Amino acid sequence: MFLGLCAARHGQELNLADLGRQCGVTQPTAKAWLSTLEASYILWLLPPYFRNLGKRLVKTPKAYFVDAALAAHLTRQPDAAALWHGAMGGAFFEGWVVLEAVKAFAARGHRPPLHFWRSNDGLEVDLLIESGGRTHAVEIKQTATPLPGHAHGLVRFQQLLGTKLAGELLLVCRVEKPALLPGGVQALPWQGFPAWVTALAK
């Protein structure tokens, strides 16, 4: 039951009190189970970004199944089309991008310097990557037609962090070729993300 509940939250923030309550166990027990899943490389916990940016920030991690096929099985996805077009399609796509970043750093023996950022007033960035003294911000969308609104969180994060510390602003999506969006945000085809993040991990 605990595994299934975690799978249903693939790509979402984990509330241990809520998970424990639904499983009928205490929060410390739920925390111990979660630690076991993390230590077994079943779950990857993406921590929130805590730098003080003048905003009240969300402070719970997001969870991703390292093997998306296991999450798909546990959430009873009937086929590949449902996996992509169903209610969890965005979460599975986001999970693929995040885990590609995890693998790029882990393959070089580095603990992945990855976070997400979300303020309580709705500003968010799906993935932050610290490399070379700068923090690169990545938004992840299934869309093939990115709009200026998709770049809003990235641009706002750069403004709050400051241009000296902020790195590249990237929107990973289904565009056919790279394109520039307002605010200096680059829309990148998802197929190009592994090479992009591998270059950061060197």
60 band by pLDDT with thresholds 50, 70 and 90: confident
pLDDT tens per residue, range 154-186: 999 999 899 899 999 999 999 999 999 999 999
For the chain, the domains span 2-201
19 to 5, 34, 82, 128: CA distances (angstroms): 7, 10, 25, 26
43 band by pLDDT with thresholds 50, 70 and 90: very high
* Mean pLDDT for the chain overall: 92
User: Which spans in 86-179 are helix H?
Assistant: 89-106, 152-161
Q: Which residues contact 168 (CB under 8 A, 6 or more apart)?
A: 136, 137, 186
Token pair recorded at residue 184: 């200096």
d(CA 43, CA 194): 20
pLDDT tens per residue, range 64-115: 999 999 999 999 999 989 889 999 999 999 999 999 999 999 999 999 999 9
Q: What is the pLDDT of residue 54?
A: 56
Q: What is the pLDDT of residue 118?
A: 86
